Amino acid sequence: MTRPLTLNPDRLFPAEPATRAVAQRLYAQVEDLPIISPHGHTDPEWFASDAPFANATELLLAPDHYLYRMLYSQGVALEDLGVPSRKGPSGADPRAAWRILAANMHLFRGTPSSMWLDHVFAEVFGFDVRLSAETADLYFDRIGEALATPAFRPRALFERFNIELLATTEAPTDPLKHHKAMRASGWKGRVVTAYRPDPVLDPEHEDFTAEIERFGEISGEDVQSWAGYLAAHRVRRQAFMEMGATSTDHGHPTAQTADLSEAEAEDLFRKVLGGTFTPAEAELFRAQMLTEMAKMSLDDGLVMQIHPGSFRNHNRGLHGAFGRDKGADIPTRTDYVRALKPLLDRFGNDRRLSIIVFTLDESVYARELAPLAGHYPVLKLGPAWWFHDSPEGMRRFREQTTETAGFYNTVGFNDDTRAFLSIPARHDVARRVDASFLAKLVAEHRLDEDDAAETIVDLAYNLPKRAYKLDEPAAERTPELV
């Protein structure tokens, strides 16, 4: 028995009628605004080559760890889902993998994945029956057919999705050839890169040594010396800015920063490069490098993003067999108050610098992050992130940060995704949740509706553009005027 698939126009809005009516009005202000996606992980090759996507499994299932981690938790083998391992591509039949997803859709009840998928199914592919064991083949076939048509090529979808700007994330050692190719192609779509130096900055990264070598090659600097290593960063940051970058991104285990003397930093760099460092020294090097990155941002204007608190590759066996980024990253308790102090002591009041801080530890929203961002001129709060990029997670973010930091120390929504087709769904969820949050404030007479209507446009559009400096050449940026 198939069941109908419909996207209710009031989804995610509060049930109470008066509040819902406000939410509807507020959402109408932003429903059709272009998408600003300043932080994500889509593959720039898609837009450079504009080659068609292969099939439902390769497009929607195998790259989406939200989906396969849940299936894995219930005993499904990753091999059966088309997920590639260290040995290479999965040998799974894509259709068989898709059927497993279809038969287990109940696992996603109440999760954002089910809302995102339904949005993609209904809006992007036009399905009007739900995905289930019965409709698995229908879905697989119809998606496959669609993907073979020009309208479903990456650039066509980008335009259909009304994306004004999309940032991808690359390592300093990436030659950015896809970004160059995109520009060379004359395509108007605005896809920019972001500078993610973790692999050349985290001594505990599994590719650190090899990446450092590549870093020297691509920058033309002597990265075996501290001065040369820093120069290499400057060179590559400049190259990234030429490909549109306005931000850097730092995915550290903690938010620790440091402010060592020149001599101490140089010593530490030598140790780290020698490979004879302790975990504490690796941590200290990462900490120092955040401060070094801040110094460079004072010069070149790149906005810093700090994404700490994930215990990467927690599942030892799975990491051994499948490698990184396979859904086995687990958040940990994260301190910000002491961790950020060395950097803030140095630059916390310098209005030329802008740092966007994220967390996977919601207990710090009201306790640490909102008070910090509600005071320091350099700090802004990134949106609810990763596991918390969900209706309840976004609601908690607003409820726990707004009263101390306000709306204007936040930076709008990040989709943070490699699931390209879900980008409109994710932004739509964020806009609906913000509309609902604001509607509650209006319905409880805590905010006037005219103010709410202005605020929601800022949240959806103006704040991300301003926070990520998307309207101005980074070199000419000015402190925000009041």
Do the Cβ atoms of 232 and 216 come closer than 8 Å? yes
Kindly tell me which of 154 and 464 has the beta carbon lying closer to its own copies: 464
191-192/247-250 β-pairing: unpaired
Of 364, 225, 231, 351, which Cα lies nearest the Cα of 292?
A: 231
Which whole-number Å values give the CA distances from 184 to 47, 80, 238, in the listed order?
Answer: 12, 39, 19
Q: Which is nearer to its own copies, 172 or 309 (CB)?
A: 309
Residue 448 CB, shortest distance to its own copies, in Å, is 7
The CB-of-164 to its own copies minimum distance in angstroms stands at 24
Structure token digits, residue 238: 């400049």
Considering the complex, state which of residue 213 and residue 350 has its C-beta at the smaller distance from its own copies: 350
Shortest Å, Cβ 389 to its own copies: 9
CB of 319 to its own copies, least distance (A): 10
Q: Among residues 69 and 183, whose Cβ is nearest to its own copies?
A: 69
Q: Tell me phi and psi for residue 356, to 5 degrees.
A: -105, 120
**Cβ contacts of residue 7 below 8 Å, gap of 6+?**
118, 119, 122, 123
Instruction: Tell the smallest beta-carbon distance from residue 358 to its own copies (Å).
Output: 13
β-strands 163-167, 379-381 pairing: unpaired
**For its own copies, the closer CB: 170 or 362:** 362
Pairing of strands 379-381, 35-37: unpaired
Decide whether 369 or 421 has the Cβ nearer to its own copies.
Answer: 369
What is the residue type of 481? L
CB of 249 to its own copies, least distance (A): 21
| Helical spans, DSSP H, in 348-422 | 364, 370-373, 391-405
Tally of CA atoms within 13 A in the half-sphere of 10 that contains its CB: 12
